[in-house]
Amino acid sequence: MFLSALREHARIYFVNPHKNVPREGQKSEYHAFQPSTSSPQGYGRQDLTFENQNYKGHGLSKGKEREGEWDFYWCDLSWLRENSDHTYMDEHVRISHFRNHYELTRKNYMVKNLKRFRKQLEREAGKLEAAKCDFFPKTFELPSEYHLFVEEFRKNPGITWIMKPVARSQGKGIFLFRRLKDIMDWRKDTRNSDDQKDDITVENYVAQRYIENPYLIGGRKFDLRVYVLVMSYIPLRAWLYRDGFARFSNTRFTLNSIDDQYVHLTNVAVQKTSPDYHPKKGSKWMLQRFRQYLASKHGPQAVETLFRDMDNIFIKSLQSVQKVIISDKHCFELYGYDILIDQDLKPWLLEVNASPSLTASSQEDYELKTCLLEDTLHVVDMEARLTGREKRVGGFDLMWNDGPVSREDGPPDLSGMGNFVTNTHLGCVNDRKKQLRQLFCSLQVQKKASS
Amino acid sequence: MLQEESDLSLIIAQIVQKLKGSNLYSQLERQAWASLQRPEIKLESLKEDIKEFFKISGWEKKLQNAVYGELSVFPLPSHPAAPPEHLKEPLVYMRKAQGSWEKRILKSLNSMCTELSIPLARKRPVGEQKELLNKWNEMGTDEPDLSLFRPVYAPKDFLEVLINLRNPNYENGDSLSFRTHLGLIQIPLKVKDIPELKECFVELGLNTGQLGIDDSTQVPPELFENEHVRIGQKVLAEQDSAAAQQYIRQGSPTALRAELWALILNISSEPEDVLYYEQLKTNVIQHDLLVDSLIYKDVKLTASNDDYYFVFEDYLYQVLLCFSRDTSVLSHFAYNSASPPKSYIRGKLGLEEYAVFYPPNGVIPFHGFSMYVAPLCFLYHEPSKLYQIFREMYVRFFFRLHSISSHPSGIVSLCLLFETLLQTYLPQLFYHLREIGAQPLRISFKWMVRAFSGYLATDQLLLLWDRILGYNSLEILAVLAAAVFAFRAVNLMEVTSLAAAEAVLADLSTLKVMPLLQIFLFATVT
């Protein structure tokens, strides 16, 4: 499809100056323009691009920059901030972010929303249900919750904490500490430097309990990157992509050197600067490989439980911001979830990214990301080919449709006794090409039959 | 009848001899003495009662497994008067060829030694020993200067040697006939054809369930998978080596594989084994060998660059460095056509009293050697267990892939089997590739030497190695190589150069091993 021409390090977007909703049979004509704003600093994202000649044949062509004349916009977060309030969008138009996505993706807001949701669950459904929200380590927003943090800190002497800036990505500005003295010094430093820069507001940080017993493979720490596509919040419709990857740190894990960020931070962006880094390696395992490895070590049951727990993380985190996110039928969002597994095979949520990196570090990575984008576009369904009742589109499985989605077809088992298996296949076989072929064939047949 | 009986008694005598020296013997003795305390053992029927006790307590099973293990590994004696060289390799010209190949390797090693003025072995100073001990779990972070080291040989050098092998008693004649072998290997060894392979690998047939085929997502697990897993658990509960070997021919469930392999290879982690491994580790710490640098270089070049095995880098060092110092490996040279290279203490060249085997285990690593260990890291995480499994796999199977012999699982036979299968069942393809200068063996050799490690996806590789263990033979490697060519035949018919043919066969990571094997053996019109 048109994404076959994707390359790294480029930027582009789709746009349609004709403002036509393609009718059946009509070849969709999307035109793209390149926005004049450059990628905002701090997000450091690389965006994908199309080569002019390559997508012409697929119904896409590069157009001229024209404000507001587009049908589909894979937008930059900065553009969103500046323009989303006053841009009029037709009904069919789609845009790739929710206006206040930061409720989920900025660490301090996410923590706040999760805490609030947990309290609500405890009130409504009891302690057991609320305990299902215990997938994020104890977190405090700084500087506002500084005193609460100090209290917790004093209660647990000797443990390690991690300090993360709320709005930065790719591992920038993160450090570990064990003594209050360390952050006192840091506080003084940032205060001093901030006085000189009048325009920049004081950055917010979160202090989070560092997970000291991560699951190690080959002696190395890793985290998982999983992709979740949310089509709407009210009602909540979320899809889970089958592929993803585990990112390894290049050096062996040890708690002795908390200054060595190469040990602890597994983002590829950080690992790329490590002296051990070999670009050929990529330091990533596809999730299928990771799942197989765990199964051969712990058995299929344990792996099933782990992946169920991860499903729980995705759903609960989305539910916690459901009422807060400004619902807009034009919006959808592809999130990149970062999950850390500890030695007891318990998954922890590190953070949610609204603009997951789409730069490829290897051939395999490139395939994954292009297929991911292609399937995202299939689910968004600008061409209006889907019936809306599909449970699987390519590599995406419908995980939540205003309620849990079951793997089994047929009426839901309301007795509550049946074996409800969620319709997620994270780390499983992804025969997307075949599935897409079958899907679109049958859709065509259905359309023909009904006309 | 008489001949068979005397053969049998000879075999029994040999096995008893072998087992008497093993740990199991002393354990059984101890158990027998301890059992005398038990009430059910009576003096009148002492022998029967003790035998009964062994049966119930599971010790008989252990003995059975040990005997079965010996039978699988040791070749049966052909004649009581046969000299030991015949056990290694019955054909003289093969022995000679292996001997001269070894001389070449040793020469290459010695010249590298003199060039770099590095001793073959030296004792480490205490400071260095301490440092190495601290770094034992992360030797991969070390970046010694290895630029001057070259691997002693690569598979393609070995292939050249095999191509030039000739049987001096065999007169091929100048005229080409239908009997002429068009491949690279010109040795008249007996290899199986497809009907014989079908008989041999009967459990891979179309009517038998397989893991790798009948556990795919479309097939409901009730049809085969669930039952197979249940049987696997039963086999493990019984701790029966022979049953496990039979069971694994249909593939091993992921969760049971590690234990099944350990059972088939008869590896049990006794405290003595862990102690032995620790001993080897101490040897590594105390002495530095030249081969260590070769091992480092190999790991850095191959496993570290692999997309999946890079994670296990440290384990590879921990296994391979200890492996080089393990003198128990020397015992496998009794049935290996190769012989361990000898080195002499400085100044005492030629004097047998001052000869030592170098490296201590007699095995000089070549380029890609570390890939034998890498897939095992997927299954075993405890270093001493991983080490034992690798060592057993090496002395049972892998050594055959880089020594010249006439054994049906030896690399020469595998190459010949591959070429014969191709020439007989895909003649057009074979002829075409030969015409464009792309002899198929030149491409498939590296796959077979490494037992496909690093070329197939790990889960597929493990399914393949399940069958190697199950059939106690490496012939399946040659069959798979031929099956891969058959699978990509259409594309290969269109290429016009060796480079293009290599490109078609460069990426095997998407292949599914079992369907390929099944189709090639059982579903191709012969």
Residues in a beta bridge with A164:
A206
Residue B430 located in a structural domain? no
The verdict on residue B268 lying in a domain is no
Q: Which residue has the tokens 């995202």?
A: A376
Q: How confident is the model at residue A37 (pLDDT cuts 50, 70, 90)?
A: very low
Any residues with CB less than 8 A from the CB of B488 and at least 6 apart, and which?
B504, B505
State residue A187's pLDDT score: 64
Q: Is residue B214 part of a domain?
A: no
Q: With contact defined as beta carbons under 8 Å apart, do B336 and B75 qualify? A: no
pLDDT band, very low/low/confident/very high, at A8 (cuts 50, 70, 90): very low
- What residue type is B31 in one-letter code? Q
3-class secondary structure for B204-269? HCCCCCCCCCCCCCCCCCCCCHHHHHHHHHHHHHHCCHHHHHHHHHHCCCHHHHHHHHHHHCCCCC
Q: Which residues in chain A have their CB less than 8 angstroms from residue B377's CB?
A: 218
CA distances from A152 to A110, A146, B210 (A): 20, 10, 56
How many H-runs (helices) and E-runs (strands) does chain B carry? Answer: 24, 4
Find residue B307's DSSP bridge partners: none
Closest CA to B197 of B10, B467, B506: B467
With a CB-CB cutoff of 8 Å, which residues 196-235 of chain B face chain A? 217
Q: What is the tens place of the pLDDT at every residue in A328-377?
A: 888 899 999 999 999 999 999 988 998 888 888 777 888 898 999 899 98
DSSP-assigned letter for residue B75: P
CA distance B135 to B140: 9
Closest chain A CA to residue B316 = A218
Probe site for chain A from B310, B313, B314, B462 (most A CB atoms < 10 A) = B310
Structural domain includes residue B61: yes
Q: Does any domain span residue B52?
A: yes
CA distance A67 to A72: 13
The average confidence (pLDDT) of chain A is 73
**Amino acid (1-letter code) at residue A298:** H
Q: How far apart are CA B210 and CA B195, in angstroms?
A: 20
Distance CA B84, CA A300 (A): 49
Nearest to A252 among B137, B254, B310 (CB): B137
Residue A221 bridge partners (DSSP): A216
Candidate from A101-115, A171-185, A410-424, B199-213 with smallest mean pLDDT: A410-424
Distance CA A450, CA B256 (A): 51
Q: Does residue B115 belong to any structural domain of this protein?
A: no
pLDDT score for A448: 85
The string of pLDDT tens digits covering residues B269-303 is 888 889 999 999 999 999 888 888 889 888 988 88
Note whether residue B70 is domain-resident. yes
Chain B contacts of A218, Cβ < 8 Å? 311-315, 377
Residue B31, domain member (yes or no): yes
Phi, psi values for residue B86, rounded to 5° = -70, -30
Q: State the pLDDT at residue A202.
A: 60
- Enter the ipTM: 0.76
Compute the nearest-CA separation of B349 from chain A (Å): 43
Question: Which residues of chain A are within 8 Å of residue B310 when distances are taken between CB atoms?
Answer: 281, 283
Interchain CB distance below 8 Å, A295 and B313: no
What is the tally of structural domains in chain B? 1
**pLDDT tens digit sequence for B5-36:** 777 777 788 788 878 877 788 888 888 888 77
Q: Which of B255, B311, B377 sits opposite A295 (nearest CB)?
A: B255
Rounded to whole angstroms, the Cα distance separating A366 from A352 reads 21
Name the minimum distance, in Å, from the CA of A282 to any CA of chain B: 7
pLDDT of residue A63: 41
Tell me if residue B121 falls in helix, strand or coil.
Answer: strand
For residue B18, give its domain range.
Answer: 1-74
Q: What percent of chain A has pLDDT over 70?
A: 67
**Residue appearing with tokens 């590690």:** B258
- Chain B positions touching A431 (Cβ under 8 A) are 217
| Residue B80 banded pLDDT, cuts 50, 70, 90 | low
pLDDT of the residue at A256? 64
Which string of DSSP letters, residue by residue, matches A5-38? G-BSS-----B-TT-PPPPTTSPP-EEE---SSP
Question: If you compute the radius of gyration of chain A from its CA atoms, what whole number of angstroms results?
Answer: 23
